[in-house]
């Protein structure tokens, strides 16, 4: 497997993981707001 | 880690040494996940009490991730037979894109995370049911029953039937007769659904030694069992009506769809060597379950339930 291709695959995997972590951070923030507002 | 990447080893067919995000997503069995999320949503909407949309979304996400996690663990355990069967040969582990141990780690991590988040942010009843679902799919179905008995999917089907109960528990914090009725609908639907598939995939299952009903008891007995379960399924789908959790429209739709299901099973029963009716019944069974739950969802959403 060419090195460029390997790096590209790894990069897309890292970006996907960053996206998932960012989405989780947003979700936990929103849940905290909802819970603090006493709606949950 | 970078120095071992890209080295071809004869023991592991490396088509592609680095897996992309799509490979990990495939480990979660997204098509199964979509039906699981949908039936979970229906349980959530039908349950008494209201849920903040953000919390409802969180609960659905936990159900989806938990179901996906059990799919990934299943692919780790079944990698040997998946590689031999046409239907599953293209999965990431048999293709060599993801190592078996990596899939297990991925699945186990997501399983624990989904249950923990459900327990911390939603409630313990929903978390307990989610944990039970994952454990049932992994230990009871995949590891214990699948390769041992033709009743594998009858009992193992319970794992796929839990999601509406999880959704219901997420919204109300409890288990109720109605949520058990929703469980029973999927539980009774699973055997004819899977046996229709196994009729035209029997060669695959026989080759890898999975004792599916047509392999062990023959096609005739499988057709008979499909018909029996289809007939039993109809009254089971009417239980929510009887419990006052569904309305007239649902009763009508469930009865009509149930009769169509039985008609399809009769065609399978009468079919000779051809597998076309079995293929058609398999396709219809997916549409059937979707429509049954979509009708329950529509009624609950419009407030028509209990107006029979």
Please indicate, yes or no, whether residues B35 and B161 belong to a single structural domain of this protein. Answer: yes
Distances (CA, A) of B173 to B11, B16, B118, B275, B299: 49, 46, 12, 45, 22
Is position B5 within any domain? no
Number of domains in chain B: 2
Domain finish residue from B175, B191, B217: B175
How far is Cα of residue B124 from the mean position of the Cα atoms in its chain? 23
Please indicate, yes or no, whether residues B107 and B212 belong to a single structural domain of this protein. Answer: no
pLDDT band at A2 (very low <50, low <70, confident <90, very high): confident
Select the residue from A1, A7, A23 to test the B interface by mutation, using most B Cβ atoms within 10 A.
Answer: A1
Please indicate, yes or no, whether residues B129 and B76 belong to a single structural domain of this protein. Answer: yes
Residues B110-165 pLDDT 10s:
999 999 999 999 999 999 999 999 999 999 999 999 999 999 999 989 999 999 99
**DSSP code of residue B245:** S
Domain finish residue from B175, B195, B225: B175
Which of B288, B268, B257, B245 is CA-nearest to residue B35? B288
Closest in B18, B57, B58 to A10, CB measured: B18
Is position B2 within any domain? no
- Interface of chain B toward chain A, CB-CB under 8 angstroms: 5-6, 14, 16-21, 24, 52, 54-55, 57-58, 61, 121
**pLDDT in the model for residue B16:** 54
Residues B220-237 pLDDT 10s:
999 999 999 999 999 999
What ipTM does the predicted assembly reach? 0.86
Select the residue from B12, B27, B53, B55 to test the A interface by mutation, using most A Cβ atoms within 10 A.
Answer: B55
Please indicate, yes or no, whether residues B156 and B201 belong to a single structural domain of this protein. Answer: no
Residues B261-305 pLDDT 10s:
999 999 999 987 788 999 999 999 999 999 999 999 999 988 766
| Gap from A6 CA to chain B (nearest CA, Å) | 6
**DSSP code of residue B62:** H
| Gap from B199 CA to chain A (nearest CA, Å) | 39
The residue segments making up the domain with residue B34 are 19-175
Is position B247 within any domain? yes
Instruction: State mean pLDDT over B241-260.
Output: 96
HSE-CB at A16 with a 13 A cutoff on CA atoms is 13
Residue with tokens 């089971």, as numbered in its chain = B236
- Cβ contact, residue pair B58, A27, below 8 Å: yes
Instruction: State mean pLDDT over B178-194.
Output: 97
Chain B residues near residue A39 by CB distance under 8 angstroms: 52
Is position B100 within any domain? yes
- Cβ contact, residue pair A27, B61, below 8 Å: yes
| pLDDT of B308 above 50 | no
Instruction: State mean pLDDT over A31-39.
Output: 89
**pLDDT in the model for residue B163:** 97
């Amino acid at each position: 497997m060419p090195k460029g291709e390997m790096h590209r695959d790894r990069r897309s995997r890292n970006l996907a993981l960053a996206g998932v972590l960012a989405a989780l951070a947003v979700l936990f923030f929103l849940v905290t707001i909802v819970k603090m507002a006493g709606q949950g | 880690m970078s120095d071992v990447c890209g080295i071809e080893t004869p023991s592991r067919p490396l088509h592609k040494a680095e897996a992309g995000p799509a490979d990990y997503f495939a480990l979660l069995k997204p098509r199964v996940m979509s039906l699981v999320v949908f039936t979970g949503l229906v349980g959530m909407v039908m349950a008494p009490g209201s849920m903040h949309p953000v919390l409802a979304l969180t609960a659905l996400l936990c159900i989806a991730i938990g179901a996906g996690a059990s799919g990934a663990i299943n692919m780790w355990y079944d990698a040997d037979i998946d590689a031999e069967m046409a239907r599953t040969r293209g999965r990431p582990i048999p293709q060599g894109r993801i190592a078996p141990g990596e899939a297990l780690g991925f699945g186990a991590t997501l399983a624990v995370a989904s249950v923990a988040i459900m327990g911390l942010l939603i409630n313990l009843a929903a978390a307990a049911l989610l944990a039970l679902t994952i454990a049932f799919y992994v230990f009871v179905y995949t590891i214990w029953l699948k390769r041992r008995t033709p009743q594998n999917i009858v009992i193992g089907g319970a794992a796929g039937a839990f999601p509406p109960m999880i959704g219901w528990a997420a919204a109300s914090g409890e288990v109720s007769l109605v949520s058990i009725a929703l469980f029973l609908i999927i539980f009774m639907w699973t055997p004819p659904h899977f046996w229709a598939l196994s009729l035209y995939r029997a060669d695959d299952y026989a080759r890898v030694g999975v004792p599916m009903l047509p392999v062990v008891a023959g096609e005739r007995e499988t057709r008979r069992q499909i018909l029996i379960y289809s007939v039993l399924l109809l009254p089971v789908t009417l239980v929510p009506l009887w419990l006052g959790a569904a309305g007239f429209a649902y009763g009508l739709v469930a009865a009509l769809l149930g009769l169509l299901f039985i008609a399809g099973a009769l065609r399978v029963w009468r079919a000779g060597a051809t597998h076309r009716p079995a293929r058609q019944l398999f396709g219809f069974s997916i549409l059937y379950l979707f429509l049954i739950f979509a009708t329950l969802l529509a009624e609950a959403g419009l407030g028509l339930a209990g107006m029979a």
